[in-house]
Amino acid sequence: MKYLVTGAAGFLGSNLCARLLAEGHQVIGLDNLHSGRQVNVDWLASMSGFTFVRHDVIEPFDIACDVLCNLACPASPPHYQEEPVNTAKTAVIGTLHALENAARHNAVLLQASTSEIYGDPLVHPQPETYWGNVNTLGPRACYDEGKRMGETLCSDFTRLGKVDARIIRIFNTYGPRMRGDDGRVVTNFIVQSLSGKPLTISGDGSQTRSFCYVDDLIEGLLRVIALGSNPGPVNLGNPVEFTMLELAAEVQRLTGSRLPLVRMPLPADDPKQRKPDISKAERILGWRPKVELSEGLSRTIDYFRRQA
């Protein structure tokens, strides 16, 4: 099959492209290299069946494909807050252009949405039926609301019979080919430890996240595409919950760091708890993450050590 992957030079995009190429598909990667990295494109270009197109999804595009995986959008808080208007345009206008391209070529569209659409949740764990608790005026709203609007567009195109647009809500994924400066807690802790610096903890460290290794996430994503019909939004993430203090302790154990933790203020609108209800994914996909946190962190730490 011919896949078009927007955001192909990013962390998730490059891992997805590699998996598709390994399965023998033809892959066209689209990226403007704003937050994606050239090294990821170079790595993919060494594999048979990959074509790269440098393009910003805010501008229309017309590329034939059987499946369009729309992953284009800065996803780390420091990056998307640095240029909030561009983030919102990428999430909304970029998704509109992806849907229009899929409609022209009768392609299935896979929309990479996010757990951020749930905001700072008042329901725990978060099922797909939960509508969320988002501050529309806060510094994270450009991404949160942009992704929520992206889901609306996908739902409307599907309802109107224009595109079979399938939505996955991704929870805290990590693994090789993450950017060391992306500002996410896993990369922060690993880079700080490997650089001989103390780990910085926001708040008291009791806030929780659920960390899903990238290979598990991509397996779930492909199972959503393979379904015979559109299942509606599907949470993809690891339901095992860790506090930031527990995560820090595990990174320190694996890297041999002995430096004391440094406390920092909590960022604005930072969710206190984040844990997916994956009962729908288990039921319709037969999917559940397999990689334990210690194993996934070890693989990710090895990747960053090789980059040093």
Are the C-beta atoms of 175 and 299 separated by less than 8 Å? yes
- Contact criterion met (CB below 8 Å) for 209 and 174: no
Q: What is the SS3 assignment for 53? A: strand
Tokens of 220: 């779930």
The amino acid that residue 297 corresponds to is L
Alpha helices in the chain (DSSP H): 11-22, 38-45, 77-82, 84-104, 141-159, 185-194, 214-226, 244-255, 279-285, 293-307
Q: Which of 143, 174, 213, 303 is catalytic?
A: 143
Who contacts 83 (Cβ-Cβ below 8 Å, separation ≥6)?
A: 74
Catalytic residue list contains 303: no
Q: What is the DSSP letter of 291?
A: S
Q: What are phi and psi of 234, to 5 degrees?
A: -130, 125
| Catalytic residue annotation | 143
